[in-house]
Structures are given as structure tokens and as C-alpha cells.
Structure 1
């Protein structure tokens, strides 16, 4: 008989924003937004040392190359993520494009390819990243560069 009665609803409590915000979107807490750059840097460093091995055993030089590559990419990503709001749309998209093009070109150059072929690969990657980044920035900001309110 009571099958038509609505089940009790749960009360939703609104969460208060965390107190550890660092000023950039998606980076909160004591880590200050280092999680994503470190993870991507570690993956990049492992891949760089793997490409540099050319199928042989791992040497200390290749391990150091991987660690340094990981650290450089992680610091560059973190810095760009923290400082990107200070740049207008076009230079910000160009910065992301340059970072992506340099990272891909460096990895390709580790495979004993010529510098010219690394540049030929890196330029279209950078151009694609520039187009996507500019589109995202253009559609998610007003004319003054402030983020649009979410619907």
C-alpha cells in the first residue's frame, strides 16, 4: 500500500571552500599544485631514459637524464600553471605550445634523429597545442581575460 510513497531524501550539506587555495584553478592544499606536474614529470623522465637506452641496459647517464628531464618538465609545468593568469590569451597559449613542442622535440631527438626532423615534428605539435589552448582560453574568458561564470 505504501509503494507510492517517495523514499526519504538525503540532505546535502554545502561544502565550504578549502583554506589552502593558491590562487590558480584546481590547485589547493599544502602541495600547492605540485601533484600533476610531478606525475607528468616522472612519466616524461621514465620515457626519456627509455628512449635514450635504444634497447640496451640502463646506465647511470641515462638514469640522470631521466631524473633531470623529469625535474625540468615538472618545474616548467608548475611555473606555467602558477603564472599563466598573468599573461594575456595569446602569449599564454604560445607558452603552452612552446612547452609542448620543446618536450616532444627533445624526446624525438633522443632517438638519434636529426635536429631538423625533431623540429619538423615539434612545430605541428606546438601549432596544434596553440590552437587548442587559444580556443579554450578564448571560450572560457571574457574580453578582459577574467574567467566566465560557470552556468
Structure 2
């Protein structure tokens, strides 16, 4: 038989929530990582993801041929563009309601995949279809997540 495990004090060095539980005791944050860790990841993740996307696009573009200076420039330019757009989308999307929040990330990630896929020898139509498919999946997953973790105004619900 499954039962909920009892809470035993503070789980992390995180902050206590402002609203008390129904029994009057203050809520304990279930956040495993500290604020400093979240801050580091908030800036390191776009850089690492940008480098992966840049390498992926450059590798697709050269099609197994030799690495050239133009190929390296293309990869680093793609990585830089991805990083800047990722940070911009993160800042802008966090201020939107859950539907637009999910749609913004879906368009960004679907468009990114479509761009990288377009660097192969496939047609533009196939790249657009693949981008739309990836965007639809991202939208469905993120909308579900935001719908279950936010209220209608976009405030996080515990």
C-alpha cells in the first residue's frame, strides 16, 4: 500500500514558502539546489546548449568533409546566436501566461531544430515539417507542465 512519506524538517538549504500549509506549519522548499547553483546553471546551460547546437549545425553543414575555417566560423556564429536567443526567450517567456510561455519555447526550439536540420541535404519542406513536429511536441510537454504548475495568471503553484 502506498502512503505519502512524512516530511521531516528542512529538506534543503532553500527558503521556506510564504504561505503556511493547511495545518498552519510553514512549508519547506523541496528545492534540492541552492540559489547559487540555480544562478550558475541559469547562465551555463545556454552556453553549453549553444556550443552543442553550433557543433551540430557545423557538422551537418560539412557533411563529413574536412573541417575548414568557414565551418568553424559558422559553428561559433550559430552557437552565439543560439545563446543570445535562448537568454532572450528565457527572459521574455517568463513574463508571459502559460500558453504563450509554452508557445514561445516551442517556436524557439522547433525553429532551432529546423535550422540545424536544414544544414543537411534535405529539402526546405522537410525541414519545416520536422521543425513543426518538434515544436508541437515541445508545446504539448511544456503546456502540460505549466498548466499543472502555474495558475491562470502565471504564478507558480506548489
Offset of residue 82 of structure 1: 2.5
Q: Give the secondary-structure state (helix, strand or coil) at the position aligned to 2:94.
A: helix
Q: 1:13 to 1:100 in 2, by over 3 A?
A: closer
Q: 1:65 to 1:15 in 2, by over 3 A?
A: same
Structure whose residues are more often strand by fraction: 2
Q: 2:78 aligns with which of 61, 69, 87?
A: 69
Offset of residue 85 of structure 1: 2.1
Name the residue aligned to 2:115. Answer: 106
Q: 1:60 aligns with which of 69, 92, 96?
A: 69
TM-score (norm 1): 0.77
Partners in 2 of 1:49 and 1:63 — Cα distance?
7
**Gaps (5+ residues) in structure 1?**
1-11
Q: 1:108 to 1:32 in 2, by over 3 A?
A: closer
**Gaps (5+ residues) in structure 2?**
1-9, 16-34
Q: 2:136 aligns with which of 108, 116, 127?
A: 127
Q: 1:143 aligns with which of 143, 149, 152?
A: 152
Which shows bigger deviation, 102-111 or 82-91? 82-91
* C-alpha RMSD of matched pairs (Å): 2.4
**Residues paired across the two proteins, number:** 131
Offset of residue 32 of structure 1: 8.2
Offset of residue 27 of structure 1: 3.7
TM-score (norm 2): 0.74
